[in-house]
Structure 1
């Protein structure tokens, strides 16, 4: 187990009066052990407790030879894994359950009186994972540097007028050539009217003169995710589209400048959103300003009007304002930031100057 991370989780468990917890999410198990185990429908459970008798319950189909610093309890397909797990829990104490444990396992443990009560332990791990340690920050820098290079390659492909789907396939090749583990999410490549759909699914559309081109991509590298968006224009840009672009660029700048430990997430959202609204385009900014990111492209937490939590040093999240005018133009500019002592470090360095691709 990665002791520093485990100890942070145990401290919050103690403060929350949760003496024991079952962690089943593969990403959370990776965070605590450094090992990815994808068990499909079979039970995978990391049991952690304040008493220190931590155990990993795992099917024999998934041999883990490494010493993960936790005792492994093996079972096979002919056994009931929950009955085995129930032998080790503290039955007269509350049990925390993380968010992704299938109901049929949970209900079985409840029937076996596997705790005095069952509580949602999701936020315990989620909130620890929100603040990245130095190792994680370096891994995020590496993944983001690859993203900068990939965006440059994608922009240079636009004059070839490949359909969006072909561009998506070529991006997969780019990640492979770079040694990445593939996409961190389904890429968004939108030409023209498609650029005005914030979550456009790539299709067979091709680029036309005057189109805005939204490129929202990310890779997974060393199990950490990158995510960034740049918007460029093909051959020409109208005065109206240029105005929209510059407003989004300024909103991105204002959002980033607002980031500082102790500031509320909702106030960061407002710094960008209020500017777009002031310029008359508020109704066309239709999503939150950003999301947390790390092992998963959408980690727990976001930058939105409803999030009154205060920013903490070490958190990593996106700043991605956009304006989407149906049938006209779409622009989004996105960077990832790490919260530092004095503000933030921007992880993406690809230019945000307006580019007209010839």
Structure 2
């Protein structure tokens, strides 16, 4: 068990008057126990109680570390796991549950527990996960360093004549070669006009001279995610595309330069957005400036105009302004930024200045 993290959850439960909660999200369970289980359609639940009467309800199908110091309540595929849970919890007290728990489990538990009240308690663990401890910071650095290397290798393959889809396939090979554990999300490879779609799907297009090429890639290492975007040009950079690139790059740098404890997320967003708007491309910056990242590529929290929360040491999020001109091209530049005690650390060391390949 991650005792310090567990204690922090219990303290917040007490403050919020939530006497008990079921943690059923596999990532949240891993965060508290160090045990990653992918249950598929099956039921697993970590039961936490402010009276310290914790239990782990677990199907016998899944192995659990012997040193996981918590009472384990086992059941099988033919047992009624929710009835077993009901027999082991306080039937009358308020129950916190995860925001994404399937209705087939929650509705059945509500039926079994009668009139007791349920509340979404995911925010407790989600909020704690926003500020990484020293172990997590090192894991995030490691994942981002692998992603830097992968980006360098991927860019070098551009002149080989691959399609977008084939380049995405090459990235899978690169991650395997450098020791990553897989993708943190489906990679985005967009040539020319396809890059004007912020979430472009890699297709069968071949790169052409003058194309802006967007590489948005991320890997997982030891359960922690990386994410980075670079825009490069093939053989030449047309004047308009070059100008747009420099605007996006400056927006990225301006936003990052503000990062330090106490600054609001919305101020980071404004630094990028206002500059792009000033240059006449505001309506073509169609998404938020960034998102939090850690065990999931999109952790709770974002860099947007509506998020007035302040930055705290240990937070890690993307800064990824972009300009997308339909039918022409897109430019996005993304770094992962960690808030330090007095400023920031950019986890991505790979060059982001204008680059012409081929």
1:167 matched residue in structure 2:
167
- Separation in structure 2 between the aligned mates of residue 203 and residue 196 of structure 1, nearest angstrom: 14
1:308-357 Cα deviation digits (max 9, x unpaired): 11111111000000001011121100000111111111000111110011
SS in 1 for 2:21: strand
2:97 matched residue in structure 1:
97
Give the TM-score normalised by the residue count of structure 1. Answer: 0.98
1:351 matches 2:355: no
The 8 Å contact of residues 196 and 327 in structure 2, kept in 1 or not, is answered as yes
The 8 Å contact of residues 335 and 347 in structure 1, kept in 2 or not, is answered as yes
1:240-287 Cα deviation digits (max 9, x unpaired): 111100000000001101111111111110010000000000001000
Moved more, 177-186 or 84-93: 84-93
The 8 Å contact of residues 2 and 32 in structure 1, kept in 2 or not, is answered as yes
Offset at residue 115 of structure 1 (A):
7.4
- Separation in structure 1 between the aligned mates of residue 252 and residue 218 of structure 2, nearest angstrom: 18
- The count of aligned residue pairs is 358
The 8 Å contact of residues 183 and 219 in structure 1, kept in 2 or not, is answered as yes
- Separation in structure 2 between the aligned mates of residue 230 and residue 112 of structure 1, nearest angstrom: 52
Aligned-pair Cα RMSD in Å: 1.0
- Separation in structure 1 between the aligned mates of residue 295 and residue 56 of structure 2, nearest angstrom: 20
SS in 2 for 1:338: strand
The 8 Å contact of residues 35 and 65 in structure 2, kept in 1 or not, is answered as no
The 8 Å contact of residues 90 and 115 in structure 1, kept in 2 or not, is answered as no
Query: Superposition pairs for residues 48-87 of structure 1, below 5 Å?
Result: 48-87=48-87
Gaps in structure 2 of 5+ consecutive residues: none
Offset at residue 210 of structure 1 (A):
0.2
The 8 Å contact of residues 318 and 336 in structure 2, kept in 1 or not, is answered as yes
1:319 matched residue in structure 2:
319
2:341 matched residue in structure 1:
341
Offset at residue 122 of structure 1 (A):
1.2
- Separation in structure 1 between the aligned mates of residue 225 and residue 69 of structure 2, nearest angstrom: 26
1:206 matches 2:206: yes
Offset at residue 114 of structure 1 (A):
6.7
Query: Superposition pairs for residues 44-193 of structure 1, below 5 Å?
Result: 44-113=44-113, 116-193=116-193
Offset at residue 103 of structure 1 (A):
1.1
The 8 Å contact of residues 57 and 73 in structure 1, kept in 2 or not, is answered as yes
1:21 matched residue in structure 2:
21
Structure 1 residues 114 and 26, CA, compared in 2 at 3 Å: closer, same or farther? farther
- Separation in structure 2 between the aligned mates of residue 156 and residue 94 of structure 1, nearest angstrom: 57
1:286-321 Cα deviation digits (max 9, x unpaired): 000000000110111111111111111111000000
- Separation in structure 2 between the aligned mates of residue 48 and residue 114 of structure 1, nearest angstrom: 20
Moved more, 142-151 or 307-316: 307-316
The 8 Å contact of residues 95 and 115 in structure 1, kept in 2 or not, is answered as no
The 8 Å contact of residues 110 and 116 in structure 2, kept in 1 or not, is answered as no
Q: Which runs of 4+ in 1 moved over 2 A?
A: none
1:330 matched residue in structure 2:
330
Offset at residue 63 of structure 1 (A):
2.3
2:257 matched residue in structure 1:
257
2:220 matched residue in structure 1:
220
